[in-house]
Amino acid sequence: MPALVDAKRAHAAGVQRLLESYRAVPGDVPIRLAKPTSNLFRTRTKTQGRGLDTSGLTGVITIDAQARTADVAGMCTYDDLVVATLPQGLAPLVVPQLKTITLGGAVTGLGIESTSFRNGLPHESVLEMDILTGAGEVLTASRHEHADLYRAFPNSYGTLGYAVRLRIDLEPVQPFVALTHLRFHSLVDLIRVMHDIIDTGSFDGHRVDYLDGVVFSKAEGYLCLGRKTGAPGPVSDYTGQQIYYRSIRHEHGVTDDRLTIHDYFWRWDTDWFWCSEAFGAQNPVIRRVWPRRYRRSSVYGTLMKYEQRFHIGDRIERLRGRPSRERVVQDIEVPLGRCAEFLDWFLDTVPITPIWLCPLRLRGETGWPLYPIRPQQNYVNVGFWSTVPVGATKGATNRLIEDTVRELDGHKSLYSDSYYSREEFDELYGGDDYRALKTKYDPDSRLLDLYAKAVQRR
């Protein structure tokens, strides 16, 4: 009980410091958070002024194991939350794949992972949240109170307010995850089996608790099926010399593996999926001397920010007599029935592999206005993260991807570069709903506009 009281007091003090720092910002200066890390990949205009004080808003406040809920500060990372919940045999319904993603970030942005085919998106497990609005008020939003703000908060990217506390559902987990990797030589066959698993929750008579996939080419794709298990036995370790995404590859049929539940959640983090290769971290010689504590997504993200700041990659390309490169770091969602079509087009058009696949079906029967994918419909998140040679116009490949995704009745996440016109953006991301909520909860426009933040990169 004393620890619980201390956590609540620390959080209350953190909220007070946040409010005081908000009130100290002059009315003509934009509001922003003072954050040491970010999982956004948009280049942005440097913001003047001091950021809001978020100290004290990074921890787990309380866990109710009986109710299977957790109260968590807005800037608590999933890494820290999982450390607190796993000893009680519980975990968030969706654990986004990178350790530094925060609860508030996954809700005001969008998160996804291999439970999303049965648990939807992270914001769907939020029971209530305290939000510091642009008007400087801390409001509790839920399905029943300030419900309009609650439903519009996802995909608002901090332009309606900042979550300072979230109460979320948890689900039971087991100590281990038994993995089955299915090899496909046809994208159509892969999508067909994915569809069957989503609809039945099983494969070959066995329950499927976790589901994602990787495509290396039209003739080489995999579904990775996970099942909760308490059965003891040997487990793999992909935090050392072995690399997870390489472990799933095989010539034919099926392979099996096992991980602890903790290592399963972070199987992609050690190598930032496969992007650590850009820094040499997958070279066996370099990997041996690369400290294990620095093999993580946050380190690669920091290195990437330096690369963007000093244009190191473009300088190297020029020395080699090659054109500069366009960053293509995107996650998109298309209906499951259009996924094979998108993958065919992408593999013919964009020279980027591997590609991550993560099926998604919203939990509830009501949509979310700023990211209007349809309830009761299966989607696939397709993730691709690399660079391509620059085209004739700025962002040529990204623009082409945006157009194609739109034609296929899909959406893309807004954490990276976007090139939509205002009219296109409003149509895709709930423009009318957003403006009404912006006027209501940020009447003086203390926070950035969503289009300005996501597309104009202010």
Clarify whether residues 161 and 244 are in a common domain: no
Percent of the chain with pLDDT over 70: 94
C-alpha span between 73 and 10 (Å, rounded): 10
Clarify whether residues 72 and 160 are in a common domain: yes
Q: Which of 139, 158, 173 is the last residue of a domain?
A: 173
At 253-280, the pLDDT tens digits run: 899 999 999 999 999 999 999 999 999 9
Domain-located, residue 308 = no
Residue pair 54/164 in contact (Cβ under 8 Å)? The answer is: no
Write down the pLDDT at residue 3: 62
pLDDT surpasses 60 at 39: no
Query: In whole angstroms, what separates CA 30 from the centre of its chain?
Result: 26
CATH number of the domain encompassing residue 156: 3.30.465.10
Write down the pLDDT at residue 109: 94
Clarify whether residues 154 and 217 are in a common domain: no
Clarify whether residues 31 and 49 are in a common domain: yes
pLDDT surpasses 90 at 38: no
C-alpha span between 378 and 340 (Å, rounded): 13
**In which domain, by residue range, is 188 found?**
176-267
pLDDT surpasses 80 at 342: yes
Q: How many domains does the chain have?
A: 2
pLDDT surpasses 90 at 361: yes
Clarify whether residues 137 and 160 are in a common domain: yes
Clarify whether residues 79 and 216 are in a common domain: no
pLDDT surpasses 70 at 50: no
Clarify whether residues 101 and 69 are in a common domain: yes
Those residues with Cβ within 8 angstroms of residue 241's Cβ, 6 or more apart along the chain or in another chain:
284, 287, 288
Clarify whether residues 13 and 126 are in a common domain: yes
Domain-located, residue 154 = yes
pLDDT surpasses 70 at 182: yes
Domain-located, residue 12 = yes
Domain-located, residue 394 = no
Domain-located, residue 30 = yes
pLDDT surpasses 90 at 164: yes
Clarify whether residues 23 and 162 are in a common domain: yes
Clarify whether residues 46 and 184 are in a common domain: no
Q: Which of 173, 194, 222 is the last residue of a domain?
A: 173
pLDDT surpasses 90 at 51: no
- 312 or 134: whose pLDDT is higher? 134
Domain-located, residue 429 = no
The SS3 call for residue 442 is coil
Q: Which of 50-59, 82-91, 379-388 has the lowest mean pLDDT?
A: 50-59
Write down the pLDDT at residue 27: 84
Domain-located, residue 401 = no
Whole-prediction pTM value?
0.94
Write down the pLDDT at residue 349: 98
Write down the pLDDT at residue 88: 97
Clarify whether residues 191 and 42 are in a common domain: no
Domain-located, residue 255 = yes
| DSSP codes, 169-237 | EEEE--SEEEEEEEEES-HHHHHHHHHHHHHHSEETTEE--EEEEEEEETTEEEEEEEEEE--------
Clarify whether residues 25 and 164 are in a common domain: yes
Q: Which of 120, 142, 173 is the last residue of a domain?
A: 173
